[in-house]
Amino acid sequence: MKKIRIPFMIAIGSILLLSFQIINNKLHLLQSPGAVIEDYEEPDYGLGAGHIDSLLPYPNLKKGERTPFDLWRYGGKGKSSFTTPELPMSWDEWVAFHKKQKPELMADVRTYMNSRYDFNGEVYEGKVMSGGRKPIMKGPIARLPRGISSFEALSAYSADDIKNKDLFPYKPLAHPLQTTAHMLFPDTWNEVHPEHARIDVDHDFPDDYLPEFPPPMFLSNHKELGDVTKGREVTLANYYEIFDGLLTPEQMEGLNELLTPTPTTWFNHTPHRVTLEPSAGVSCFSCHVNGHTNGAIELGPDSRPNLARLRVDTPTMRGNFNAMQLASKRSIRSMDHFAEVEEYFDGDPGM
Rounded to an integer, the average pLDDT of 85-99 is 97
Rounded to an integer, the average pLDDT of 248-275 is 92
Predicted pLDDT of residue 351 = 36
In the chain, what are the helix, strand and coil shares in percent, each to the nearest 5? Answer: 35, 10, 55
pLDDT digits (tens, 9 = 90+) for 150-181: 999 999 999 999 988 999 999 999 999 999 99
Predicted pLDDT of residue 349 = 47
HSE, CB side, 13 Å, CA atoms: give it for residue 16: 6
Predicted pLDDT of residue 171 = 93
Question: How far is Cα 101 from Cα 97, in angstroms, rounded to an integer?
Answer: 6
Is the pLDDT at 252 greater than 90, yes or no?
yes
Question: How far is Cα 116 from Cα 142, in angstroms, rounded to an integer?
Answer: 6
Sequential DSSP letters for 213-268: SSPP---TT-GGG--TTTT----TTTHHHHHTTTS-HHHHHHHHHHHS-B--SSSS
Rounded to an integer, the average pLDDT of 31-43 is 86
The helix (H) or strand (E) run that includes residue 311 is: strand 311-313
Rounded to an integer, the average pLDDT of 78-104 is 95
Least confident among 5-9, 144-148, 250-254: 5-9
Predicted pLDDT of residue 204 = 96
Note whether 286 and 297 are within 8 A (CB): no
Q: Where are the domains of the chain?
A: 117-172, 174-351
Three-class DSSP category at 39: coil
The helix (H) or strand (E) run that includes residue 103 is: helix 91-116
Q: Tell the burial category of 89 from Cβ atoms under 10 Å away from its Cβ (0-12, 13-18, 19+).
A: middle
Note whether 79 and 99 are within 8 A (CB): no
Question: How far is Cα 293 from Cα 260, in angstroms, rounded to an integer?
Answer: 17
Q: What is the DSSP letter of 76?
A: -
Q: Who contacts 87 (Cβ-Cβ below 8 Å, separation ≥6)?
A: 63, 64, 94, 271, 272
Question: How far is Cα 196 from Cα 298, in angstroms, rounded to an integer?
Answer: 14
Rounded to an integer, the average pLDDT of 2-7 is 65
Q: How confident is the model at residue 21 (pLDDT cuts 50, 70, 90)?
A: low
CA distances from 302 to 180, 202, 310, 312, 313 (A): 16, 24, 9, 12, 15
pLDDT digits (tens, 9 = 90+) for 50-64: 899 999 999 999 999
Is the pLDDT at 267 greater than 60, yes or no?
yes
CA distances from 113 to 44, 109, 118, 166 (A): 32, 6, 9, 18
Predicted pLDDT of residue 303 = 86
More confident residue, 339 or 180: 180
Is the pLDDT at 27 greater than 80, yes or no?
no
Is the pLDDT at 25 greater than 90, yes or no?
no
- Average pLDDT of every residue of the chain: 88
Least confident among 11-15, 287-291, 320-324: 320-324
Predicted pLDDT of residue 4 = 63
Q: What is the DSSP letter of 137?
A: E
Q: How many contiguous H segments (helices) and E segments (strands) does the chain have?
A: 9, 6
More confident residue, 133 or 18: 133
